[in-house]
Amino acid sequence: MNLMTQELLAKFSKVGRQGNNPDPLVIAKFFNPCGRQTWLATEYDPQERMFFGYVSLFNTEHENEFGYFSLEDLLVLRIKPFGLAIERDLYFDPAPLSVVKKRETIY
């Protein structure tokens, strides 16, 4: 699966940095097809190939956080024992983080 497309890059470029926004717009959702791990990308730096966003790797709000994650890490990550790759939600509609967390049942 292509995790980064030209269309997606254009959306990230249009929104730009959202550091001062208390409820940033989530542009893309990446997920583990066999688990609950989710990466909600609010920013992307094409030079560094780094995202910034809300990372939900566990089942409680206290273990999830905002942070940076790289496109390379998402591309090489394989889920054992199945060998599946991280996927991008092709039907994801950009929305504020507060809306996405409720809609997607993300802590």
pLDDT tens digits, 88-98: 999 999 999 99
User: What percentage of the chain carries pLDDT values higher than 90?
Assistant: 67
Q: What is the CA radius of gyration of the chain?
A: 13
Q: Residue 55, class by beta-carbon neighbours within 10 Å (0-12 exposed, 13-18 middle, 19+ buried)? A: buried
Which one-letter amino acid corresponds to residue 24?
P
Which residue in the block uniquely carries the two structure tokens 């995790």?
3
The rounded distance, in Å, linking the Cα atoms of 84 and 80 is 7
Which residue in the block uniquely carries the two structure tokens 């089942």?
59
Is the whole-model pTM more than 0.85? Answer: yes
For the stretch 47-83, pLDDT in tens is 999 999 999 886 656 678 899 999 999 999 877 767 7
